[in-house]
């Protein structure tokens, strides 16, 4: 009933929030007579704040239409390279009419960005994708809101996530591919590449893993504590709900986005309260640039998706509670995950010094597991002063992290020679 109650509240709040939006415009537009009334600015600011607190936040668009590359403006077109029930593989195709730019882009490495399926949409990595497009051909996993997936499509579990990553790698072509995984997908990406290597399949040239829980037993954070202090039955009883009838996925069990959003806000309530108060003051002062920055941030932050229940519960159990990957005990669809089977992919791990989601050492743990990769193809970086989001978004990402990622990918763009076993006797 909780999901249905939320929908009733949303239906009730909808007209009120849009009335607040209309009022804000009437009392703030320069050509409006109401904007000349005493106290109009205060009323308009209050109404817009009310509107933004009560409105629905739909999935934002990536909105990447052009970039600056090789000294030219390059057009970007978003395409769907492969569509599966729970995920769309997006490609950001670059276009130019300059022959030199076209030739330079043709020779650039191919990158698959595996976005998290952990609440926010893949558009949270917009800055990551836009920056990578300067020097790479870029694909990204765009996960579908589970409430929009009909129940006939079946369940989606952690094993299915691993299978999706394998399928995307094969679709793009592993021989010239570099995979960048951000946060949660570091675990299924490492599993997918391990399984492919164990079967003798081609694996990506490099793996870049950023701020992920490879071994959450290291430097546990409040996120890790929450996942381990309650039994799995508690998560199933309190966080799993049924999609109501007004969505295509009606009847599907999910971890609803509105509950995830409440959890995000509860982690730093004072920070969000202060941010909204500053937004109100910016509107009063007429500081339109800061007000617009607030809108852009919360348009992304408040847009959350429903996660499939099976996938969420599997992640809690397999990744955080049992820690099966670092213990060498994880089986996916009957196959044992052995990162030691990876021999021909380079590995770069990146962590933020101040990461409060994946603590220091959790991502670095991948190196101890990937024993088959030669030492010279391992690299680890700790970004000073960076929190979780700072390692893949914002100025620190663009100026400090990205150059290291770009140079690592370039250095390992050439496929290493295949090692042949030594004959005995």
Q: Rounded to whole angstroms, how far apart are CA atoms 418 and 301?
A: 45
Q: What is the mean pLDDT of each run of 10 residues along the chain (425 residues)?
A: 80 84 88 86 90 85 92 95 97 94 93 93 95 97 96 96 98 96 97 98 97 95 88 94 93 92 79 88 87 87 92 97 97 97 97 94 98 97 94 94 97 68 38
Residue 332: its pLDDT value, please?
Answer: 97
Beta bridge partners of 242: 253
What's the predicted TM-score (pTM) here? Answer: 0.89
Residue with tokens 């209050």: 46
Asked if 369 and 190 touch (Cβ cutoff 8 Å), the reply is yes
Helices 40-54 and 269-285 meet at what angle, rounded to 10? Answer: 140
Among 171, 158, 163, 168, smallest CA distance to 195 is for 163
Residue 422: its pLDDT value, please?
Answer: 42
Report how far apart, in Å, the C-alpha atoms of 217 and of each of 196, 320, 327 are.
26, 8, 11
Q: Which helix (H) or strand (E) holds 347?
A: strand 346-352
Residue 288: its pLDDT value, please?
Answer: 84
Q: Rounded to whole angstroms, how far apart are CA atoms 103 and 172?
A: 20
Among 96, 116, 113, 112, smallest CA distance to 104 is for 96
Residue 66: its pLDDT value, please?
Answer: 95
Q: Rounded to whole angstroms, how far apart are CA atoms 40 and 43?
A: 5
Residue 415: its pLDDT value, please?
Answer: 62
Q: How many CA atoms lie within 13 A of 89 on its CB side?
A: 18
Residue 368: its pLDDT value, please?
Answer: 97
Residue 425: its pLDDT value, please?
Answer: 33
Among 155, 88, 85, 83, smallest CA distance to 115 is for 88
């Amino acid at each position: 009933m909780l999901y249905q109650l939320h929908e009733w509240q949303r239906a009730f709040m909808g007209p009120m929030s849009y009335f607040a939006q209309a009022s804000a415009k009437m009392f703030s537009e320069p050509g409006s007579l109401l904007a000349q009334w005493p106290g109009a600015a205060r009323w308009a600011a209050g109404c817009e704040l009310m509107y933004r607190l009560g409105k629905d936040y739909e999935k934002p668009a990536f909105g990447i239409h052009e970039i600056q590359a090789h000294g030219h403006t390059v057009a970007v077109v978003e395409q769907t390279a492969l569509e599966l029930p729970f995920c769309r593989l997006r490609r950001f195709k670059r276009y130019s009419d300059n022959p030199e730019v076209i030739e330079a882009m043709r020779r650039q490495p191919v990158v698959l960005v595996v976005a998290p399926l952990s609440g926010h949409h893949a558009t949270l990595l917009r800055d990551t994708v836009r920056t990578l497009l300067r020097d790479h051909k870029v694909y990204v996993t765009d996960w579908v809101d589970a409430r929009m997936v009909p129940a006939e499509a079946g369940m989606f579990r952690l094993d299915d996530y691993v299978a999706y990553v394998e399928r995307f790698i094969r679709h793009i072509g592993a021989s010239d591919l570099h995979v960048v995984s951000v946060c949660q997908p570091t675990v299924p990406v490492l599993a997918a590449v391990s399984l492919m290597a164990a079967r003798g399949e081609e694996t990506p040239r490099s793996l870049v893993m950023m701020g992920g829980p490879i071994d959450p037993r290291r430097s546990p954070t409040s996120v890790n504590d929450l996942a381990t202090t309650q039994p799995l039955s508690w998560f199933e009883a309190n966080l799993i709900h049924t999609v109501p009838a007004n969505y295509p996925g009606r009847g599907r069990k999910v971890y609803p986005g509105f509950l995830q959003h409440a959890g995000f806000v509860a982690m730093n309530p004072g920070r969000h309260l202060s941010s909204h108060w500053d937004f109100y003051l910016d509107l009063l002062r007429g500081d339109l640039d800061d007000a617009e920055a607030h809108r852009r941030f919360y348009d992304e932050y408040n847009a959350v998706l429903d996660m499939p229940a099976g996938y969420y519960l599997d992640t809690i159990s397999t990744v955080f509670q049992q820690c099966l990957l670092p213990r060498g005990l994880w089986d996916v669809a009957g196959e044992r995950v052995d990162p030691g089977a990876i021999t021909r992919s380079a590995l770069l791990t990146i962590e933020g010094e101040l990461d409060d989601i994946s603590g220091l050492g959790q991502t670095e743990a991948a190196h101890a597991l990937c024993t088959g990769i030669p030492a010279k193809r391992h690299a680890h970086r700790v970004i000073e002063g960076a929190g979780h989001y700072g390692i893949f978004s914002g100025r620190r990402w663009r100026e400090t992290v990205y150059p290291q990622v770009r140079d690592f990918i370039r250095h390992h763009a050439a496929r290493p020679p295949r090692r042949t076993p030594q004959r005995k006797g």
